[in-house]
Structure 1
């Protein structure tokens, strides 16, 4: 049975606790208004986290914290594609970073991604219930409680911070003397960067700490009257880790989606690569290779056999879902009477795409499959009549 719903009715903390107590495995996909995040579980433990928010990518920290340049990140991503090794592992093997440095960045990246979900008041979620991802890697093995207690604290403080500081692009400065003896070494380092020229995000990157740490420090300083805030500059600031990544980063995201079982998202991402980089032979070749892997995976399911698909939710419940136009069209053709081989030819677009849409709708608990019954016992008139 598909596990799915919306954070409006099941808050993220409750959802995480349920997965932990049930010792569930699989990939939890949460689709918000702007971003989609995925959390891989094994026996209720958090093993890995991915996000399509560029500020939650590993490259953001590697470049923003000064470990790699944009060009070096691009070369490392290319090397990763050929060697099929995790980027962090590649950095350790090449001597660019120590194991402790990589582990710290991955842990902070993971925590930041999950803590942000504590602030989400709505978002569709579904659990891709699979025993193991399609690629082996060394997981984190973190207990859910590791995230919930600190995440709840940060969420509460973030809501208070937002009353004074709208976002990290604002520029803090010191307006009164600060008792430096009362500050920790990290707070002292942050204080020395408050020069009235750098944004909160820039200070966090320079000091190699999560943005929340700087936001909290500045907020309490403003409450004490020793810090002030200026509005952001008009200058466009590029997000670290995004320059030059181009199609290689998109392919990497598509492969991550494939690995974690979100096949339709992988297909959408590879189509983006083919559309944007149609004149780049390597990009098209890798997108085509991933498409062939998707065809193999979908062939392993029941979507190519004589099965009948029907709605698993009421029409009223479906009306509350955030469905793409192509998903809505597919749903409009599902009536529980016809088999998939009869339905697929009536849908526009490639067969694989429509199979993946139906597969995704099943993963989300919107559709379900019933055992096929002999068509001879059914109505044989209409657009899907048997010839």
Structure 2
């Protein structure tokens, strides 16, 4: 990390406060904006992920992200204030009234204004703090530019406090990752030490049930609609008490692989992008998206990101027309199909677990912590593989 003085000097030289997060650590950038008491909108982008931090007089008053795990509804579900079904109904009310989600939840009595403000404050903190783990990407700060307050609730979190928390978490993450180096690990529960009498709907009640079922950390995070830090922190506390221990996931009984297209390492990024542009011109968006994503993975360049965004937009529109234009209720093709027997990603397992024969695809996706495009791709794959049928 650069010394603060050098960081400030480097920012001062940047025309319009814009630069590369690879050379300007996010934490230093936040501290600069906080110490100067600046007002404006900080936009950070890495690949196709975009986050906007709204700053007023050195305090974060709102934070937006296109990562669905950082949506307000996800935080409300994780803290037990609402259920997935209640969030679905709130979205219907929002569509009818054109009122922002937070106001809808208060209006229908699902949460109080005090609860909404508390959760929004956490959302703002966590969305901003998650940026501090980015080691690359681009940023720009539009001084004096403030969008309207969409939720109608005033929150304010000093950037100086966020910087202090970011430094603390950097040390904590080192300890967490020493015990849980990968999110693919499962957790073994020592039943002799496990707490008893947990309410099934409580956070710990759900957590222990998921651990006993052999789910990985990433799967648990999705099922609980949790942030990485808070889940890892809870798991670490249980580990220190000797209640759980990390273990490799259980071997699948009958592994069924869902095919996916890959591009060999020997092909250059330039060649991949040439093919991606050709597929875009032919409106073959799925092929273009797969190639562009591979190019971004190999080397993130503005050209690769631009092509990926265009391909994703085309593919999203195509899949929406195919799967969402008419309400479709997905159903498991076989009642005997077991998720553990399928070689699925954590996101695919989450979506499969939400198929109950009553909710349509749109309703499932709206409350999920999975990107809409990714979720639609998974559903299309489920259908083509014969795992799911549409009613």
Counterpart in the other structure of 2:177: 162
Counterpart in the other structure of 1:215: 232
1:52 aligns with 2:52: no
Asked whether the equivalents of residues 20 and 45 of structure 1 are also in contact (C-alpha less than 8 Å), the reply is: yes
Q: TM-score, normalised by structure 2?
A: 0.52
Deviations 1:353-374 (A, max 9, x none): xxxxxxxxxxxxxxxxxxxxxx
What's the secondary structure of 2:91's corresponding residue? helix
1:115 aligns with 2:147: no
> Using the alignment, how far apart are the partners of 1:174 and 1:206 within structure 2?
18
Shift in Å at residue 31 of structure 1? 0.8
Aligned residues: 250
Could you say what the CA RMSD is over the residues aligned between the two structures, in angstroms? 4.2
Counterpart in the other structure of 1:366: none
1:93 aligns with 2:110: no
Which residues of structure 1 form unaligned runs of 5+? 181-185, 237-263, 284-387
Asked whether the equivalents of residues 221 and 227 of structure 1 are also in contact (C-alpha less than 8 Å), the reply is: yes
Deviations 1:151-188 (A, max 9, x none): 221222213322331344533223385497xxxxx998
Change in Cα spacing, 1:124 to 1:204, as seen in structure 2 (3 Å) is closer
Counterpart in the other structure of 1:369: none
Change in Cα spacing, 1:166 to 1:10, as seen in structure 2 (3 Å) is same
Say which one has the larger Rg: 1
Which has the larger displacement, 147-156 or 161-170?
Answer: 161-170
Which residues of structure 2 form unaligned runs of 5+? 1-14, 196-201, 257-305, 327-391
Counterpart in the other structure of 2:39: 25
Change in Cα spacing, 1:187 to 1:71, as seen in structure 2 (3 Å) is closer
Asked whether the equivalents of residues 65 and 205 of structure 1 are also in contact (C-alpha less than 8 Å), the reply is: no
Q: TM-score, normalised by structure 1?
A: 0.52
Deviations 1:316-335 (A, max 9, x none): xxxxxxxxxxxxxxxxxxxx
What's the secondary structure of 2:174's corresponding residue? helix
Counterpart in the other structure of 2:303: none
Shift in Å at residue 49 of structure 1? 0.8
Change in Cα spacing, 1:272 to 1:4, as seen in structure 2 (3 Å) is farther
Asked whether the equivalents of residues 44 and 143 of structure 1 are also in contact (C-alpha less than 8 Å), the reply is: yes
Shift in Å at residue 123 of structure 1? 1.4
